[in-house]
């Protein structure tokens, strides 16, 4: 295996939009066959039509139970013997706040155009006005402290609008927690399971009480029960999973995407929770591999600055695109391991990483057997598979094709 360059604990990895601004920026089908992006078909972004089921307002009206989520793929079924596995790809977003740069609606439209579902890891603080920062009691940090900035009221409103649209378009709303503490004694790396429980409870409270906290009365409720919607997360800077998992398991969460340096292999469970890490991908022009996240590519291109030399942007954009597509091809043509890609709504190095992920998604979307899904949808598929078949899939190393082809390799019961 190639050397892996892990920069997950450097500088800004996983930073939300507020912190980024402060430094000058911030369908799972039932099996193989068929083509296209996951049995959903193109979705008109923003079609967000009101659900037809009766609406049950929850609490202060910040959220509501509107019935089954629209635009979901067919119920998954187990792979048949000898069947080629789908190629799953999950595009996910840390923070998921809209600060006026138009990236949230841009990628909702892209997903809709290509029938893709995504996962948005919402930072709870992005729905809490700074004037109410005293409501946040971060573990091992001062009251109201946060290593990402609070959003302006107008951006809180925009974030609410696009989170609502995202769910109605079929996407998943997870959590990126709140204050994004990555360094020092208060870092999430040192949090206990009880600390994580406090952080989660507060993140849920900020989402389910935004109407009381903001005073906004002219916005529709978020159309989901967040306590039921929330089944997975990604921690700040990919730190603290060891402390989080016991709490995640007690809460009934089904997956976590917080570990770093994962390989392109089929996943396993940790403490009863599916471990779905960002992955090491071939990095064109280098002997080492790079983690499948925009910031990690940046860290290897412009040495952690988000404003590198502009003359390098075209080559860096091409290299970032080739990284995503190289990782995709390695899995698609061999072990069909799921591909997990993490991003932020950022404009680092002139926005080249947003262009790269858009081009990569477009290039993947029309390939046979490809499923552009959310982590929730992928977890649904995993949970109905034969454990013996999953074990066979897990035994394939990154870039290893099934000996004898899929019809032979997965022909056993």
Closest-CA residue to 190 (of 239, 223, 253, 119): 239
Query: What pLDDT, on the 0 to 100 scale, is given for residue 48?
Result: 52
Query: What pLDDT, on the 0 to 100 scale, is given for residue 52?
Result: 62
Angle formed at CA 269 by CA 265 and CA 270, multiple of 5 degrees: 120
Answer whether residue 64 is part of any domain.
no
336, 85 Cβ separation under 8 angstroms: yes
pTM for this model (two decimals) = 0.90
Query: What pLDDT, on the 0 to 100 scale, is given for residue 11?
Result: 38
Whole-angstrom CA distances from 312 to 37, 283, 352 are 33, 16, 10
Relative orientation angle of helices 294-301 and 313-332, to the nearest 10 degrees = 130
Answer whether residue 372 is part of any domain.
yes
Answer whether residue 63 is part of any domain.
no
Q: Give residues with Cβ within 8 angstroms of 42, minimum separation 6.
A: 112, 113, 114, 115
CATH code at position 196: 3.20.20.370
Whole-angstrom CA distances from 141 to 91, 195, 206 are 31, 11, 18
Give the domain range for residue 169: 3-50+69-409
Closest-CA residue to 39 (of 51, 48, 27, 47): 27
Answer whether residue 25 is part of any domain.
yes
Answer whether residue 59 is part of any domain.
no
What is the count of structural domains for the chain? 1
Answer whether residue 60 is part of any domain.
no
Query: What pLDDT, on the 0 to 100 scale, is given for residue 40?
Result: 57
Closest-CA residue to 269 (of 281, 285, 253, 282): 253
Q: What is the pLDDT along the chain (413 residues), one digit of tens a residue?
A: 444 444 433 333 433 333 333 222 223 333 333 334 444 555 554 555 555 667 899 999 999 999 999 999 999 999 999 999 999 999 999 999 999 999 999 999 999 999 999 999 999 999 999 999 999 999 999 999 999 999 999 999 999 999 999 999 999 999 999 999 999 999 999 999 999 999 999 999 999 999 999 999 999 999 999 999 999 999 999 999 999 999 999 999 999 999 987 999 999 999 999 999 999 999 999 999 999 999 999 999 999 899 999 999 999 999 999 999 999 999 999 999 999 999 999 999 999 999 999 999 999 999 999 999 999 999 999 999 999 999 999 999 999 999 999 999 999 65
Answer whether residue 62 is part of any domain.
no
Answer whether residue 57 is part of any domain.
no
Q: Give residues with Cβ within 8 angstroms of 70, minimum separation 6.
A: 49, 51, 168, 169, 170
């Amino acid at each position: 295996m190639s050397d892996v360059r892990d920069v997950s604990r450097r500088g800004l990895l996983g930073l939300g939009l507020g912190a980024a601004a402060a430094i000058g920026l911030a369908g799972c089908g039932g099996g193989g066959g068929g083509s296209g992006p996951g049995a959903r078909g193109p979705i008109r972004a923003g079609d967000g039509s009101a659900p037809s089921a009766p609406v049950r307002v929850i609490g202060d009206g910040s959220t509501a139970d509107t019935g089954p989520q629209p635009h979901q793929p067919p119920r998954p079924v187990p792979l048949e013997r000898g069947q080629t596995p789908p190629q799953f790809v999950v595009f996910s977003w840390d923070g998921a706040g809209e600060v006026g740069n138009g990236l949230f609606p841009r990628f909702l439209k892209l997903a809709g155009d290509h029938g893709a579902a995504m996962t948005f890891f919402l930072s709870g603080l992005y729905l809490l006005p700074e004037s109410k920062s005293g409501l946040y009691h971060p573990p091992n940090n001062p009251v109201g402290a946060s290593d990402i900035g609070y959003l302006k009221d107008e951006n809180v409103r925009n974030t609410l609008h696009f989170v609502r649209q995202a769910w109605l378009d079929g996407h998943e709303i997870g959590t990126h927690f709140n204050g994004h503490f990555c360094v020092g004694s208060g870092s999430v790396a040192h949090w206990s399971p009880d600390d994580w429980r406090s952080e989660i409870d507060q993140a849920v409270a900020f989402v389910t009480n935004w109407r009381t906290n903001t005073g906004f009365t002219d916005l529709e409720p978020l159309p989901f029960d967040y306590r039921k919607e929330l089944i997975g997360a990604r921690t700040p800077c990919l730190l603290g999973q060891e402390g989080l998992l016991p709490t995640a398991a007690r809460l009934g969460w089904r997956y976590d995407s917080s570990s770093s340096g994962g390989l392109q292999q089929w996943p396993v469970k940790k403490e009863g929770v599916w471990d779905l890490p960002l992955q090491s991908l071939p990095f064109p022009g280098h002997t080492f591999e790079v983690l499948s996240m925009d910031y990690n590519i940046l860290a290897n291109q412009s040495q952690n600055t988000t404003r590198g030399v502009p003359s390098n942007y075209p080559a860096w954009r091409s290299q970032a695109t080739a990284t995503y597509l190289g990782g995709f091809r390695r899995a698609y043509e061999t072990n069909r391991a799921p591909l997990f890609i993490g991003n932020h709504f950022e404009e680092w190095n002139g926005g080249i990483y947003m262009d790269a992920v858009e081009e990569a998604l477009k290039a993947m979307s029309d390939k046979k057997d490809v499923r552009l899904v959310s982590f929730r949808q992928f977890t649904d598929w995993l949970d109905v598979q034969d454990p013996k078949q999953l074990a066979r899939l897990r035994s394939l190393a990154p870039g290893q094709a099934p000996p004898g082809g899929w019809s032979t390799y997965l022909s056993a019961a």
